Structure 1
Amino acid sequence: MRTDSLLPLVALPGVYVPQEDTRLLLRALGREGVRPGSTVLDLGSGTGVLAVAAARRGARVTAVDISWPAVVSTRLNAWLCRRHVRVHRGDMAVALADRAFDVLVANPPYVPVPGGQSARPGARAWDAGCDGRLYIDRICDAAPRVLRSGGVLLMVHSALCGPHATLARLTAAGLRATAGDRAAVPLGPVLRSRSRWLRRQGLLSPAQETEELVIIRAEQP
C-alpha cells in the first residue's frame, strides 16, 4: 500500500480537501510502524484519509472533528474503504480527556487571520488566529498527557506560523521534538488573498510565492 496516496474521497461542503500537507503527513505516518493493535487518534479528521490509512494497517483508530460535515465525511470514507474507525464529533479537549494513544496525528488549521478574527463560515478548516497558532499551541500542550511512553505526535503546519516555536513548546513539555519532512508548495487561494497583510506582518517576503510545509514529530520518552 502506498502510504502517500490520496484516494478518491467524499468531502462534504466545508470539509478540507486533502492536499500536499496531508500527503506529507501520510508519508510520516507510514514510517511510524503502525501495526495491528496500535492506538491512533486522528485529531481534526476532515475527510478521514489519515484515519483510514492507519486503520488499513490494523490500528484501532479514533477520529475526532468538531465539524459535523467532517464527521460525516470521515464516516462515509471509512465505510467506503471497509475500515473500522470510531468517529466522534467534539472539541479537542473532550477528545483528549482520559485517553492514551500510540500515535496522535494532526493537520490542524494553521492559516493566520487578519486581526485574529474568528473563522468565517466555511473557513474553520484553515483559519487559526492572528499568528496561525490557535490550535497548534493547544495540541502541543495536550500531547504529553495523551501519549503513551514511546508514543508519537505527528503534526503538519506551515513555516509561516513558527516551527521553531512549536519545537520549543514541545521540548519544554518534556517531549523529544524534531522537524522532519518539508515541502515547498505554491501559495494557495487563501494565502494569496491575504498576501499583502502577510507581507506587512513579515510572514511573507516581498517576492515569496511559495509556502513551506513542515512535519513536526514529537516522542514521549
Structure 2
Amino acid sequence: MPGVYRPQADTTLLMQAMLTATIPLDKRVLDICTGTGALAIRAAMAGARSVTAVDISWSAIVSAWLNSRARGIRLELLHGELAHIPHRRLFDLVLVNPPYVPSPKEVPARGRARAWEGGAGGRAVLDVLCRMMPRMLDSHGIGLMVHSALCEPEATLSQLRDGGLKAAVVAREIAAFGPVMRERVDWLESVGLIEPGQRHEELVVIRADRTQE
C-alpha cells in the first residue's frame, strides 16, 4: 500500500531471529511498528496463540489488515503512539523494528517518514522502547529488536540491562544502504557516523530476556 514502509533487510533479519529463537509455540506476541504486518503474520503462522500489532500509521494498519485477511490470519490491530500500547498486558514475545535512521531533523509528527526517522543519533524512538520493554514482557518473556549498528547497540544493551533484562546481540548482517540512507550520506559523513565512501551498514538484532518472575 502507498505510504507504508515495505519489508527490507532489517525485517528479514528480525524474522530469521524470531524463527530460530528458542520460543515455544502457542504464545502471546506483540509486534511494534508492524508496517505491512509481515512479522505479525509470520508469528501467527508459526503458531502464536495471539498476535497484537501496533503502528502509528493508519496506512500501515490498513495494509496489515489486508495482508492478514488475504492469508486467513487473525491479528489484533491497534493504531496509535507508543504510549497507547496496551497497559497491564504482558506478552511472551515482543518484536520491534522501530524507526532508527539517523537524521539531521527531529522525528516528524506525521507522514511516511515516521517509519524510519530516528532523530540525530537514530535513538529517539529506540530509547523509549528500551525503557518500555521490561514492562511488556511476561515471566520468561523475550524481546527481539532490530536496528543499525550506527545507533549504538551498546546503548540498547545497557538500557535493557538497567531494566532488569538479560540482553545480547544475537544476529548481525551487513546491508547496503537503502534509498533513505543514500540520500543523506553527505550528512552522515559530516557528523562522523560513517566513513568517507561508506555505503553499507551493519544491522543487529538484540534479544532481551526476562529471567525472573
Interval containing the TM-score (normalised by the shorter chain): over 0.9
- Aligned match of 2:108: 118
Deviation at 1:118, TM superposition (A): 2.5
Residue of structure 2 equivalent to 1:100: 90
SS at match of 1:93: helix
What per-residue deviation string (whole Å, max 9, x for no partner) do you get for residues 27-77 of structure 1? 111023445430000001100010001111221100011100000011111
1:117–1:45 distance in 2 versus 1, CA, 3 Å: closer
Tell me which of 189, 207, 215 is aligned to 2:205: 215
**Unaligned stretches of 5+ residues in structure 1:** 1-11
Amino acid across the alignment from 1:192: R
CA contact (8 A) 1:41 1:104 kept: yes
- Does the CA contact (< 8 Å) of 1:34 and 1:54 recur in 2? no
Q: How far is 1:94 from its partner?
A: 1.3
> Which amino acid in structure 2 is aligned with residue 14 of structure 1?
G
Match of 1:25 in 2: 14
The structure-2 alpha-carbon separation of the partners of 1:64 and 1:46, relative to structure 1 and needing over 3 Å to count, comes to same
Candidates 44, 52, 61, aligned match of 1:55: 44
Residue 116 (structure 2) pairs with residue 156 (structure 1): no
Q: CA distance change for structure 1 residues 83 and 28 in 2, over 3 Å: closer, same or farther?
A: same
* Stretch deviating more after TM superposition (30-39 or 133-142): 30-39
> Counterpart of 1:124 in 2: which secondary structure?
helix
Question: Which is worse superposed, 171-180 or 89-98?
Answer: 89-98
Residue 120 (structure 1) shift: 6.7
Q: Percent identity?
A: 47
Pairwise CA RMSD:
1.4
Match of 1:85 in 2: 75
Cα drift, residue 200 of structure 1: 1.3
Of 4, 28, 43 in structure 2, the residue corresponding to residue 15 of structure 1 is 4
Q: Deviations over 1:127-147 (max 9, x none)?
A: 111111111111100010110
Q: Secondary structure at the match of 1:28?
A: helix
Q: Counterpart amino acid of 2:204?
A: V
Q: Equivalent residue of 1:114, what SS?
A: coil
Q: TM-score, normalised by structure 1?
A: 0.91
Q: Which amino acid aligns with 2:14?
A: L
Of 188-197 and 120-129, more deviation after overlay is shown by 120-129
Matched, 1:37 2:26: yes
